[in-house]
Amino acid sequence: MVIADFLERNARLYGDETALVEINPSEERDNAVTWRDFSLIENTRPDLPYRREINWRQFDEKANRFANLLLSRGIKKGQKVAILLMNCLEWLPIYFGILKSGALAVPMNFRYSGDEIEYCLDLADVDVLVFGPEFTERLETVPKALEKLKFKFFVGRDVPDFAESYLELVTYTSTKAPPILLSDKDNAAIYFSSGTTGRPKAILHNHRALVSSCETEQNHHGQTRDDVFLCIPPLYHTGAKMHWFGSLLSGSRAVLLRGVKPEWILRAVTEEKCTIVWLLVPWAQDLLNAIEAGKIKLDDYMLDQWRLMHIGAQPVPPSLIKRWKVIFPNHDYDTNYGLSESIGPGCVHLGVENIHKVGAIGKPGYNWQAKIVDENGNELPQGSVGELIVKGDGVMLCYYKNEQATNEVLKDGWLYTGDVARMDEDGFIYLVDRKKDVIISGGENLYPVEIEDFLNTNTKIKDVAVIGLPDERLGEIAAAVIEIKEGMEATEEEINEFCHALPRYKRPRRIIFAKVPRNPTGKIEKPVLRQIYGGGRLVEAQTTK
């Protein structure tokens, strides 16, 4: 079985039922694709002009149309088609169209600069690019990369000179499934690592990995056809799409929300009757802050059907979930852990029944194995700190065209995650930190996540990142980059006093008040912070309001 089989089944069984909804409430996004940019607007409610939807039959037909377009242009099984789009109603049909043609889908980060786009197109040997209007100017800066592509398809109006109109071309192609034979062992997609430790690496997965992620997600969160999933994170990332795979497997509706403002999230939950919402840490923090500050009144929304909130993509401060449960006591909660190399979320997860273990990332997920090992790959006893490794059908085939990097992380079928972790006496795994983020100060190992979790209990702190900075005497010192909540203020002395509850060696030696940068999947961009504050361009701490 391949992943597209689920789409065809849903089209056959639930053809007239809504599959996907796109909501774009923002009128202030420059160059954003809005509903007005498309010639084929389906099932738009007159009272909600920013809303579009398609049913399962239309979803499958759109995928078939694009697959047949690719085949008509001579694209063959195994060739690569990149997607450079913001979240929109076209994204998933294009993705499935690529898979149905036998080509490999190559989703790309919408924050890439022109140079990064060129690098990734070349790394993945991309033949076709599908892109939206937000990226035209960036692509124009890399004409050599465009020349190498066989075809460029533009999703929107005002088609640039160097591309063709996707919307016009798919209007004239067949809606029938193309006669391409695929097996679960065939290559399916190339995803890119987040690049938080250097240039992105190309991660190759087969169809079995995609199907595995469907099975894992649906097993963990029990999606039924009555559920409605609110998807906010970018679809180019494995996390968002693989959580949506639970909706695909169950034949249930999903809502793509283009925006992260707390009031937009609650309005979408209310209007679309969403039952499952996956958030990143910053969005959950913003939502709680807005409610606690009185800027949002829950009585203005209809939220009784909302049954599950889950978080992934980065360590989750236990204090955040404790606050969440105070405001939303009836919500189930789950923590998801995964990597793009392990096809996104779920290789380790907490489980909604284990709320008493908040702080842990959980136990091995459905059809997954996990253990903690030392530097020689030997399994460590419970309580010991070592590297987390995982094994399952969702493990990548390789880093595409990078045998050395592949051999460093794939050993005997096990994926070495680079995350430092420990396992408690009940078998629950706790992340300690990224292997490369560990701070060695005066011979002591400091784990930034532990210090961040402590600082996050301070009610004035909105976000925090702890990094290592060079020090002549100690080698490295821990520095805390702290973002204070709007309307509040704090001083360096106040934070230092708060940290007296930590053992002396774990206390940050430097306090920096600044915004904490995160990438689109919510991960703190620590290399950026180390470059800013450890590379000679230091910003002094100051009182922040």
Is 349 in a helix, a strand, or coil? strand
Using only C-alpha atoms, the chain has a radius of gyration, in whole angstroms, of: 23
The pLDDT assigned to 198 comes to 59
CA nearest 53: which of 88, 28, 9, 26? 88
Q: How many CA atoms lie within 13 A of 25 on its CB side?
A: 15
Given phi > 0 = left and psi -120 to 50 = alpha, else beta, which region is 192? beta
Q: What is the 3-state secondary structure (H, E, C) of 468-528?
A: EEEECCCEEEEEEEEEECCCCCECHHHHHHHHHHCCHHHCCCEEEECCCCECCCCCECHHH
Give the E-state strand segments of 138-201 in sequence order: 151-154, 164-165, 187-192
Q: Is there a contact between 73 and 150 (Cβ–Cβ < 8 Å)?
A: yes
Residues ≥6 apart with Cβ < 8 Å to 464: 452, 455, 456, 480, 481, 482, 483, 516
Residues ≥6 apart with Cβ < 8 Å to 487: 293, 545
- Please identify which residue in the block is written with the tokens 């194995």: 369
The pLDDT assigned to 394 comes to 96
| Tokens read off for 166 | 């996707």
The torsion angles phi and psi of 64, rounded to 5 degrees, stand at: -65, -40
**How far, in Å, CA of 186 to CA of 181, rounded?**
10
Residues of the chain under the 50 pLDDT cut: 27-44, 196-197, 536-545
The torsion angles phi and psi of 12, rounded to 5 degrees, stand at: -75, -40
The total number of residues shown for the chain amounts to 545
Amino acid present at 176: K
Q: Is there a contact between 525 and 519 (Cβ–Cβ < 8 Å)?
A: yes
* DSSP-derived secondary structure letter, 84: E
Domains located in the chain, CATH noted: 4-243 (3.40.50.12780), 438-534 (3.30.300.30)
CA nearest 367: which of 188, 528, 241, 208? 208
**How far, in Å, CA of 32 to CA of 127, rounded?**
25
**How far, in Å, CA of 301 to CA of 292, rounded?**
16
Residues ≥6 apart with Cβ < 8 Å to 227: 247, 250, 252, 253, 275, 276
Is 39 in a helix, a strand, or coil? coil
Buried-state track 57-84, b at ≥16 Cβ within 10 A, e below 16: bbbbbbbbbbbbbbbeeebeeebbbbbb
CA nearest 149: which of 132, 131, 137, 167? 131
| Tokens read off for 449 | 């996540």
The pLDDT assigned to 444 comes to 66
**How far, in Å, CA of 371 to CA of 24, rounded?**
42
Q: Is there a contact between 50 and 258 (Cβ–Cβ < 8 Å)?
A: no
The pLDDT assigned to 57 comes to 98
The pLDDT assigned to 227 comes to 97
**How far, in Å, CA of 87 to CA of 24, rounded?**
10
